[in-house]
Structure 1
Amino acid sequence: MPNLPAIDPIDLRSTLDDDERAVVAAVRQLVKDQVLDHVEEWFERGYFPVRELAPELGKMGLLGMHLDGYGCAGTSAVAYGLACLELEAGDSGLRSFVSVQGSLAMFPIHKYGSEEQRQQWLPGMAAGEIVGCFGLTEPDSGSDPASMRTHARRDGEDWVLNGSKMWITNGNVADVAVVWARTEDGIRGFIVPAGTPGFEQRTIHHKMSLRASETGELVLDNCRLPGDAMLPGAAGLSGPLSCLNEARFGILFGALGAGRASFTAAVDYVGNRTQFGKPLSAFQLTQHKIAEMTVKLSAGTALAMHLGRLKDDHQLTSDHVSIGKLANVRAALDVARTARTMLGANGISLEYPVIRHMVNLESVMTYEGTEEIHALAIGRAITGIAAFA
């Protein structure tokens, strides 16, 4: 029998407390019971069952789980990260839904909203009854959000918004959007309910990645909002960037789930596939691949746990998150690509999870800051010199 379990070869489970272990067990069971038997079909159809799954995720306390009050679970950062890992072991689209709901839609309302805004939106969002999205990226503004064209102007007591947002997870199905726009006083955040006149939500089709995820475009055409739709506590780019940092923290854990699922599928496959009279796992080249994958995932998980402990101690910086996001998404993608080779032709079949995770991770590498942007952030942190332009 193997001495090291593929799912946790360096026994990081032994470092978890009882609450963290309970989160891992509960989320892993949820994914097994409600996701794994269906996700290949969802991926092939380009579909995600938002209205069915959101209430279930809410019942488990997974939506905004790292926030306090208003129906939120108030868990530790590490528990949130571990939940993201287990969710993404099911599919990146599942973890993306939870990340967007909690870290990009609920977090800005929780941190920057008025008490009235928190009371109006957060309990329903925590329960999965209200779905949110985050509107920052634009058709011509991705890595450089300061160049956004969406703008808001005062008209009496109201705000009037014009512009568009692109590649918005949940954007086409959301009940409410947190939209960032340029004003005379700088960039501000606005709460835009679905159905507001002048606010259109469109579905983005023809994706080859994150297919089990809803993605939309938000169009604002003289969209009129009351004066109290603005988030009073957010001014400038620091508002949306702080939200992205929260989401990136979930990603640096989550990506490892996709990598782990690819790795364990490959280990199982080579242990049962016989060629030249012996299992593929008996070949030296196969074992070398397994060793490399084990090291990458183990190092990534140890890094994630360290950064999670820093966050719980209020010592985590955005530069730390950039290190984690860059390192762990790259490691997970390398593992998924290697796993794909180990399955041979079966590696491109949706009967196995590997190709689905591999193409999903191509998107994960890009969103919430591309690999290049995080490299520049790390370079600036080490040298003191900004090289973004």
Structure 2
Amino acid sequence: MWYWLGVTYIAALSIVDFMMFNYIGFRTNVSDVDYGIIGAAWSAVFIATSELLGRLADRGDYRRLSAVSLTFIAAASVLFALARGVWLMALAYIFHAVATSTANLGFSASLFELSPDVEWESRTSGQRLGLYGIRGLGLLALAMAVPFVRLLGLVVGVGVAAVAIGLLFLTALPSQWITFERKLHGVINRLSLTGAYTAALGSFVSYRYGILYSISRGVARGSGSSMGVALSATLTTFVGDYYLTALPLILRQMTVGLRDYMIAFAAAGLAAALTLAMVQGTSSRSLAAAGIALRGAWAIAAVSFIRSMAGLAAYIVILVALFGVLDLSLYQIYIGLTGGYRVHGYMVLRELGSLAGSLAGGVALYAGPMAFMVTPAVVTGAAVAALLA
């Protein structure tokens, strides 16, 4: 029960994210650069929160993290309801960043502490599938309600719903306990940080103890490769948030409105869920790298063909569906290398890509067509190289 309530809570926070950020983009007079700054500020707070509270996740303190998340999403909803200007709305959106960061940390900690390691892959797949499916259905329902309810009321209503779901999740979470296996795993993981030193020491040991050298070299290589996966996730996320920041600014100059945008993202969420149901990610780096290149090419080339609702829907559906598979694949590769530890470090690096992408999207759009096209092409190439390194 706690697992699916957690998935639903994170999906609700994702819907609140979409509604708050795009309400600011579509319904206010925010500038291109300021909009990018707001998106980047959200990511900066997400990163800072993950860094400050990440150790709680490594210690398995999922109940406290979930309680912090619940407090901040409640505050964000109240503040957004009372806001009458862009910057108060932006502050509410920043509170949402804290709620999302701690919710992700708390859910990840609960998953790794309360589930056997043989279930991690299936549960992370189920989390991503549920996230996209619930988000898609939620956005579709909200889009249908737009003609009858004020948009600001919908934004605040989703926040209130997230609070209610978060409270149920917190109530359903089992008492904290950590198995001997996980404690031992944590000790081994901390010892792995000395892998490089052990490798150097092992080179001076006689052949009778050569196994120490071999093991420590393997640990050092594993640490390096996990960093390459995290860096690739960072750059892949950059490209996605780059376009997600620019799209509302582009579309508000066209006939496509926020309701159409919501419908397009609803379709994208359902398509991503269906894709993940059929394709459970991949543990192959080469396949993931090919997917990153394909998604980057689509994002760059197809954006110029958005002229109608159908074109917008096709663009976003393919963009989001590909990212859903890539995001799951990179995360599974990463936790396979780290044993479920240092997840907050992965989240920080991934969100750093979101920060940079949000900021760059608005600035590059302001700078002109050439800068807007070249930037994601270079970053996509770097993401592929980092994964294959």
User: What range describes the TM-score normalised by the shorter chain of this pair?
Assistant: 0.3 to 0.5
TM-score by length of 2: 0.34
User: Which of structures 1 and 2 has the larger relative contact order (alpha carbons within 8 angstroms, sep 6+)?
Assistant: 2
**Structure with more of its chain in strand, by fraction:** 1
TM-score by length of 1: 0.34
